[in-house]
């Protein structure tokens, strides 16, 4: 792609690329996509830079944006300039590395010293999902409304900057769609008398939705980059078979190249390649809409980028009632090994397609375990003298996976109901920290809170939805712990779980104390409360106690769980006693040494 049009965009890219479907049938949508991108040049560039340089100030990002827009203007006037032949992502990185000042200021000079290929990988691996380094975005409605009235584009770009740096894996079209939704919130709330309440109510809906979608996009990138296209492909077949179960397999395979292609640019952070791939996918799906589903028929008339978001948010279609049992074709048939040998990947695609639409309420993670078990069974059985006798037990194996998943979820929800939210949180603070004490305190705190929130949400669901809810949530949580590529080595136990694409969820709960971990020397200052604790709101006080518990486990990983919980109770009792005393400071001074002695001896 050349810089022959506004920055990161070329008509030749969007209308002349051979990977698109015929232009004459789709030119209206592709033209609309091109016009939308041209209109949002600065926003796209801001997004790309902010996702790579999350620490950078808005002022520094804006300067780089202006430099890139100036380069675009030069390339528009003189297409044959040497720098205009580079792809957009490399020009973006050239700008980030243009001077030592910013690269040293934000700590990415090591990326700039590498060749283009390794430089890009280096920038990708710098992306952070633990956002403790970012200041809380403090919304001031009156100032926001005045700023929007004075300069709507500036507010739009500032919002994109703030969202992009907090959601570094969010796909371009989705981020711009949410920016449009947020602009509607601004327009509505700025006319309200109680602006703050309006922003808190309507803005929170947009923000929560954004965070959830970011989790999905991050997870898809983790699959593509950690386990390869085959794993991503089976995941796409699984999802779309459940979402649109009336679609024929041939139709699904026809759009598969576009389904897989979307991840390439989007996961690499190439905002224009991401937008182009989404346009390609949306065009393909709308061209095949009648063959796929009636559920998104109203989406294909919507403008950019709403069309794609509408399709992927469409309601799941009910599966046909007369679907034959999956086992007939894949377990009881005599020719399974022959079909598997003839076309292994195609055969497995067909299995995932048939099993997923037949088991529409079973979660994706569980079906992936069924698929892996089935593939292992075929690899083993097809080498035996009587393959059919061997693989015929597949039905029993599949049922066992479903039952184990359900039993694990029922046990977890029973714990949640029995313990209550606070004690459940403590339980997982202890278990997560014992399993991975090497993780930073802030990250462990996030994982524990997330696990607790997931249980609070999923365990309140009807029985038939509980298992799928917990399995999906655990899949995302453990995926986040594992991280991207093989660039993260926590300890041997966690690494072993992370190597498995399908069996992470049952693997993590089985982990015990990390025996390779060497605890730090006991630090009394981490466990010494003072009178400032008495002024904390209850929620903040609970957070501090949670962090104290995690730190205690980091120092005492071999201590039994009940002793750790008793130690936390002792600590809480001291805080309560001293905060109710006439002289809290003196009380803490008097009680502190005894408390430290108890904690140190636990």
The predicted-structure confidence for 577-602, as pLDDT tens digits, reads as follows 999 999 999 999 999 898 888 888 76
CB neighbours of residue 465 within 10 Å: 13
Q: How far is CA 13 from CA 39, 106, 261, 277, 566, in A?
A: 16, 33, 15, 11, 64
Angle (CA) 355 357 363, round 5°: 80
Confidence label for 13 from pLDDT (cuts 50, 70 and 90):
very low
571, 529 Cβ separation under 8 angstroms = yes
- Which are the contacts of 319, defined by CB distance < 8 A and separation ≥ 6? 245, 246, 357, 358, 360
Whole-number pLDDT of residue 2: 33
Rounded to an integer, the average pLDDT of 460-486 is 89
CB neighbours of residue 83 within 10 Å: 12
Confidence label for 131 from pLDDT (cuts 50, 70 and 90):
low
The predicted-structure confidence for 269-293, as pLDDT tens digits, reads as follows 888 888 888 988 998 899 899 999 9
Rounded to an integer, the average pLDDT of 409-427 is 95
The predicted-structure confidence for 60-88, as pLDDT tens digits, reads as follows 999 999 999 888 888 888 878 887 888 78
Q: How far apart are CA 261 and CA 556, in angstroms?
A: 48
The predicted-structure confidence for 163-182, as pLDDT tens digits, reads as follows 999 999 999 999 999 999 99
Cα diameter, the chain: 83
Question: Given a cut of 90, is residue 226 above it in pLDDT?
Answer: no
Write down the residue that tokens 């808005």 correspond to: 58
Question: Given a cut of 90, is residue 109 above it in pLDDT?
Answer: yes
Whole-number pLDDT of residue 335: 94
In 3D space, the residue among 271, 269, 276 whose CA is nearest the CA of residue 33 turns out to be 276
The predicted-structure confidence for 526-560, as pLDDT tens digits, reads as follows 898 999 999 999 999 999 999 999 999 999 999 99
Whole-number pLDDT of residue 97: 94
Collapsing DSSP to helix, strand or coil, 529 comes out as coil
- Which are the contacts of 81, defined by CB distance < 8 A and separation ≥ 6? 74, 75
Q: How far apart are CA 69 and CA 57, in angstroms?
A: 19
Write down the residue that tokens 């597949």 correspond to: 394
Q: How far apart are CA 529 and CA 584, in angstroms?
A: 11
Q: How far apart are CA 47 and CA 157, in angstroms?
A: 9
Confidence label for 463 from pLDDT (cuts 50, 70 and 90):
confident
Question: Given a cut of 60, is residue 17 above it in pLDDT?
Answer: no
**Could you tell me the two tokens for 504?**
């992470």
Q: How far apart are CA 6 and CA 209, in angstroms?
A: 31
Confidence label for 405 from pLDDT (cuts 50, 70 and 90):
very high
Greater pLDDT, 420 or 89 = 420
Question: Given a cut of 70, is residue 453 above it in pLDDT?
Answer: yes
Whole-number pLDDT of residue 487: 59
Rounded to an integer, the average pLDDT of 370-397 is 95
Q: Counting beta carbons within 10 angstroms of the beta carbon of residue 214, is it exposed (0 to 12), middle (13 to 18) or buried (19 or more)? A: buried
**Could you tell me the two tokens for 119?**
């430089």
Structural domains of the chain, with CATH? 39-126 (1.10.246.10), 141-220 (1.10.246.10), 326-402 (1.10.246.10), 409-510 (1.10.246.10), 524-601 (1.10.246.10)
Q: What is the DSSP letter of 582?
A: S
Whole-number pLDDT of residue 134: 62
CA 236 to chain centre: 16
Q: How far apart are CA 219 and CA 170, in angstroms?
A: 10
The count of residues in the chain is 602
DSSP-assigned letters across all residues of 325-357: PHHHHHTS-TTHHHHHHH-HHHHHHHHHHHHHH
Q: How far apart are CA 199 and CA 137, in angstroms?
A: 13
**Could you tell me the two tokens for 392?**
């015929």
363, 468 Cβ separation under 8 angstroms = yes
pLDDT averaged over the chain?
88
Rounded to an integer, the average pLDDT of 128-133 is 69
Q: Please give the share of the chain, as a percent, with pLDDT higher than 90.
A: 66
Q: How far apart are CA 370 and CA 349, in angstroms?
A: 13
Whole-number pLDDT of residue 136: 59
Greater pLDDT, 261 or 59 = 59
For 379, the enclosing helix (H) or strand (E) is helix 364-381
Whole-number pLDDT of residue 6: 36
**Could you tell me the two tokens for 300?**
């294909």
Whole-number pLDDT of residue 26: 52
């Amino acid at each position: 792609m050349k810089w022959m049009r506004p920055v990161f965009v070329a008509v030749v890219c969007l209308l002349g690329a051979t990977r698109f479907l015929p232009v004459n049938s789709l030119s209206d949508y592709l033209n609309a996509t091109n016009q939308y991108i041209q209109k949002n040049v600065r926003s796209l560039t801001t997004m790309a830079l902010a996702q790579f340089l999350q620490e950078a100030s808005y002022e520094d990002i804006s300067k780089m944006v202006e430099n890139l827009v100036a380069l675009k203007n030069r390339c528009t006037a003189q297409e044959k300039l040497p720098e205009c032949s580079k792809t957009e992502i490399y020009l973006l990185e050239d700008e980030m590395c243009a001077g030592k000042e910013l690269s040293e200021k934000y700590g990415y000079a090591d990326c700039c010293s590498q060749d283009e290929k390794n430089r890009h990988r280096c920038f990708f691996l710098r992306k952070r999902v633990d956002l403790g380094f970012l200041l809380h975005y403090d919304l001031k409605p009156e100032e926001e409304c005045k700023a929007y009235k004075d300069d709507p584009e500036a507010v739009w770009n500032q919002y994109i900057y703030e969202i992009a740096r907090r959601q570094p894996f969010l796909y371009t079209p989705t981020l711009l769609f949410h920016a449009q939704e947020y602009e509607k919130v601004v327009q509505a709330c700025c006319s309200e008398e109680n602006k703050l309440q309006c922003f808190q109510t309507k803005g929170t809906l947009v923000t929560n939705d954004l965070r959830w979608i970011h989790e999905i996009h991050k997870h898809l990138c983790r699959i593509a980059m950690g386990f390869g296209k085959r794993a991503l492909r089976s995941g796409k077949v699984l999802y779309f078979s459940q979402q649109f179960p009336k679609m024929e397999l041939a139709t699904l395979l026809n759009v598969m190249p576009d389904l897989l292609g979307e991840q390439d640019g989007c996961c690499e952070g190439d905002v224009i390649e991401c937008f182009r791939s989404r346009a390609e996918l949306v065009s393909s799906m709308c061209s095949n809409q009648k063959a796929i589903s009636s559920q998104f028929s109203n989406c294909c008339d919507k403008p950019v980028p709403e069309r794609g978001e509408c399709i992927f948010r469409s309601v799941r279609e009910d599966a046909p009632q007369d679907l034959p049992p999956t086992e007939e074709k894949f377990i009881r048939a005599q020719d399974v090994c022959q079909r598997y040998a003839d076309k292994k990947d195609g055969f497995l695609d067909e299995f995932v397609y048939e099993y997923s639409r037949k088991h529409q309420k079973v979660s994706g993670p569980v079906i992936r375990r069924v698929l892996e078990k089935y593939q292992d069974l075929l690899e083993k059985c097809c080498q035996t003298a009587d393959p059919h006798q061997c693989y015929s037990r597949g039905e029993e194996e599949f049922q066992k996976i479903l039952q184990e998943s359900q039993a694990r979820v029922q046990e977890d929800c029973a714990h949640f109901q029995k313990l209550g939210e606070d004690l459940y949180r403590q339980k997982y603070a202890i278990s997560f920290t014992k399993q991975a004490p090497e993780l930073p305190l802030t990250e462990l705190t996030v994982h524990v809170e997330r696990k607790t929130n997931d249980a609070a949400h999923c365990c309140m669901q009807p029985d038939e939805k509980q298992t799928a809810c917990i399995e999906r949530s655990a899949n995302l949580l453990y995926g986040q712990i594992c991280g991207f590529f093989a660039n993260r080595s926590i300890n041997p136990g966690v690494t072993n779980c992370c190597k498995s694409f399908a069996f992470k969820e049952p693997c993590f709960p089985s982990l015990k104390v990390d025996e390779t971990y060497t605890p730090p020397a006991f630090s009394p200052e981490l466990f010494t409360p003072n009178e400032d604790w008495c002024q904390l709101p209850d929620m903040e006080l609970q957070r501090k106690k949670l962090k104290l518990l995690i730190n205690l486990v980091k120092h005492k990983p071999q201590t039994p769980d009940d002793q750790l919980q008793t130690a936390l109770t002792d600590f809480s009792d001291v805080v309560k006693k001293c905060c109710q005393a006439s002289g809290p400071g003196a009380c803490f001074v008097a009680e502190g040494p005894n408390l430290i002695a108890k904690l140190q001896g636990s």
